[in-house]
Chain A
């Protein structure tokens, strides 16, 4: 059914673009008439952000080289750089029973099914459907989505499932004797082959140890704000068969940014 669906998807994507056109026109208008003072302030804010990020980046570069050296000493495989592309959510209303967003990149840009999607804070979800110019991303909070995780502090591996609520996911099959604690950060474990290792996903918010149930009930809050995503990042493994394809329009947009 998948090829059928993606063909049909490309068919209806004009409707999606038409539906968001009024909103985008309004957004454009608003950004056109922004006051000079506001732009100056925003510019200052951005410069500050860049400075602090560059500071962090220096440390990151150092850590990367150190990490590589240590990995070399342990003679374990070194990690590949990942390629990424910024995508914008075109705010198309979706089925209330599932948590999905539509983004403005499609197979034309090399997007593929099962591709991991993150934003500035953490993991958002994965691509489930690809049209030519749009793709549909399923969020980790969807009740049909599960993601393999590892606790950052204890290294315990768990699987988190969505429950249909954007600010809560549930950990499955956690024994009562678990060492997990409230506040633990959960990272992607890299198992399962969809999500790359080491991206933050959620923080444990509550552990209920009801002995009458076979497993402990563990709830976690996604670190990304799943209900207000606007820009997100599509990730590509550098040695996979799928590679990002930048169209001229993308290059121009990036230059403009």
Chain B
């Protein structure tokens, strides 16, 4: 029973690790600017699906991993992910009842806000110049949500993760 439960939980960890790999996978620059914010997509899904299991703390830890992988100052992505995870965790019941396309719109907003938070930190603390293409992944993330959400739901049901 115990082992079974651990196996179920590990699905969450495995999907998060996969999303981190996708986040740093090398791509040509033209495609890379459209790279969706994979870790945040996966975090949003799990927070909405299993709010009693995956919480803001998870989001902060995943954000920290992103910080290290991308080499940004420790805590920028962690703070952004945690802040964005809050509305998702608070209104999970409402978001679950949205249609997939409505959810996609919401994801676009959340990813945009997360990126804006990271950009603000980078701008005020590291003098980063404004690059508009930094915000394009908000759109691609919304697009990929239409695919990520059903796939993760299928995984969750298949392995009965609770």
Chain A bound to chain B: yes
Q: How many angstroms from the CA of A16 to the CA of B68 in the assembled complex?
A: 10
Q: How many angstroms from the CA of A85 to the CA of B108 in the assembled complex?
A: 45
CB atoms of A5 and B74 under 8 A apart: yes
Specify the chain B residue showing the minimal Cβ separation from A22.
B25
* Residues on B with beta carbons closer than 8 Å to the beta carbon of A19: 21-22, 24-26
CB atoms of B20 and A15 under 8 A apart: yes
Interface residues of B in 1-51 (CB under 8 A from A): 17, 20-27, 32, 35
CB atoms of A93 and B25 under 8 A apart: yes
CB atoms of A93 and B126 under 8 A apart: no
Q: Does A8 contact B (CB under 8 A)?
A: yes
Q: Majority SS of interface residues in chain B?
A: helix
Q: Does B64 contact A (CB under 8 A)?
A: yes
- Residues of chain A touching chain B, judged by Cβ–Cβ distance below 8 Å, are 1, 4-5, 8-9, 11-12, 15-16, 18-20, 22-23, 91-98, 100, 102, 128-129, 136, 143-144, 164
25 A–B pairs (Cβ distance < 8 Å), ordered by A = A5-B68, A5-B74, A8-B68, A12-B65, A19-B22, A20-B25, A20-B26, A22-B25, A23-B26, A91-B26, A92-B24, A93-B26, A93-B32, A93-B70, A94-B71, A95-B72, A97-B119, A97-B126, A97-B128, A97-B134, A128-B71, A143-B129, A144-B126, A164-B128, A164-B129
Given contacts A20-B25, A97-B119, 9 further A-B contacts (CB under 8 A): A12-B20, A12-B68, A15-B69, A19-B26, A20-B26, A93-B32, A128-B71, A129-B71, A143-B126
